[in-house]
Structure 1
Amino acid sequence: MPPPPPPLPERISAVAVLDDPARRALYELVAQSAQPIGRDAAAAAIGLSRSTAAFHLDRLAEAGLLAVEFRRLSGKTGPGSGRPAKLYSRAAGELSVSLPARHYDLAGELMAAAIGESSASGEPVLEALARVAAQAGRAIGAGSDDLGSALEANGFEPREQGDGGIVLGNCPFHRLAQAHTAVVCSLNYQLLCGVAEGVGDTAHTIIADPDAGECCVRAVPGADSPQ
């Protein structure tokens, strides 16, 4: 299962860093280079002063878009070899912003895992998908404080109802669910059942409800909910 993305405000701030044309040009230069690039080379390639290039490169690194390393370009070591150069390369992590929140990467990970396990064991792929989705949900729930915060952190936009139930204002798998409704809604149901189990929520029962709102699943008051 892919790691959870950084909070939305952090991702928006990182993308906003690229709004500056010079910064965007430096990012593209570094991203397209097979080798890490130093400040002097970057400044010369873009036509900026070294200090300006350094400022923008460091800003990109602070935003998590570039990785930094220090290395002596001459290959010499010891006294007189000079200070190591600061070199920049594209950061290994991925960054995406979608509004409303979409998590197609999670759906892809679960489907790929299910296909792999089905191929290895002979288990029907839809059964494997239900199992791995529930496992992923339990892991998400185990790392959350409560059901509402787990749903919020994963883009479901939970909305509490007067009866203690929860409807979901967003489907993170919307486009997939439109094209492959039965498969994706089943995945979603098993995932959220796992989330509720992992977080230890006994006040709600997860049910499939295609008419619940923007998502085909909702949480209704369970046996342990306050009356």
Structure 2
Amino acid sequence: MSIAGRPAEQPVETAIRALAALEDRLRYGMYEFIRTARRPVTREQAAEAVGISRKLAAFHLDKLVGAGLLRSDYEPVGGLRKVGRTPKVYQPVDRDIRVSIPERQPDVLASILLDAVLTERAGETARQAAIRAAQDRGRQVAATEREQLRPGRLGAERALTLSETLLKRHGYEPERVSSGCVALRNCPFHPLAEQARELVCGLNHAYLTGFLAGLDAPTVQAVLQPKAGECCVELRLGS
């Protein structure tokens, strides 16, 4: 059980659930039709596109909504309001579906580097700007988590436990290796780390340092501890 109660679904689990919903041939056909329609689609239109009944189409469409692939609403089709009940329409959710096991997050790294380019300050090197952007991003992510959870003041042990719980949601694979240390078995930025290990590890360290600051967990430190095949950072209780 997480600190907040019910465990949050991991991004990879969400993606797998979405892909599983598309395994059915008819369901995939309707999703493809709606995604390429560029307009709201009714149940009748979706049913006609794949040659099934409206009732069966409604079942499959609800499955796609539940998987987070479609969103539904009630609105006039073509902007014209007719007499009677406004039909239910479906549109694709603006999202990418990717599954990576173990989880990788190259988009996070790309976003950090983009922020660095857009906010680079006078007298700041590109590397310094990237480190600052990574730390800012980590702080923002953790501050959002803290605002949602409202955990109050964090003692040392609770801060380490909460950090472990939350980082699992963000592509890491934390493992408590001792009472005062959490190892991160997965590097979310691999294989980019293989191309520029010093830079990527520095950004990862800055991100996690910012994360702990945003969580208001001063008793926990992000420590560079490079290991082959694992994340280069460990979380340790301060002395």
Normalised TM-score (structure 2): 0.81
Report 1:41-190 matches (<5 A): 41-73=45-77, 77=81, 81-118=83-120, 121=122, 123-142=124-143, 143-144=145-146, 146-162=162-178, 164-190=180-206
Answering whether residue 7 of structure 2 is matched by residue 7 of structure 1, we say no
Q: Shift of the alpha carbon at 1:75? A: 5.5
What secondary structure is seen at the aligned counterpart in 1 of 2:98? coil
Tell whether the 8 Å contact from 1:160 to 1:166 is kept in structure 2 after alignment: yes
Percent identical residues: 34
The one-letter code matched in structure 2 to 1:129 is: A
The one-letter code matched in structure 2 to 1:110 is: I
> Residues 76 and 27 of structure 1: is their aligned pair in 2 closer, same or farther, counting only changes over 3 Å?
closer
Q: How far apart, in 2, do the equivalents of 1:140 and 1:71 lie?
A: 35
> Residues 6 and 122 of structure 1: is their aligned pair in 2 closer, same or farther, counting only changes over 3 Å?
farther
Q: Shift of the alpha carbon at 1:177? A: 0.7
The one-letter code matched in structure 1 to 2:205 is: Y
Q: How far apart, in 2, do the equivalents of 1:130 and 1:124 lie?
A: 10
Q: How far apart, in 2, do the equivalents of 1:212 and 1:202 lie?
A: 28
Tell whether the 8 Å contact from 1:133 to 1:187 is kept in structure 2 after alignment: yes
Q: How far apart, in 2, do the equivalents of 1:153 and 1:162 lie?
A: 21
Q: How far apart, in 2, do the equivalents of 1:180 and 1:113 lie?
A: 19
What number of residue pairs does the alignment pair up?
216
| Cα RMSD after superposing both structures | 2.3
In structure 1, list runs of 5 or more residues that go unmatched: none
Answering whether residue 25 of structure 2 is matched by residue 21 of structure 1, we say yes
Tell whether the 8 Å contact from 1:117 to 1:123 is kept in structure 2 after alignment: no
Normalised TM-score (structure 1): 0.85
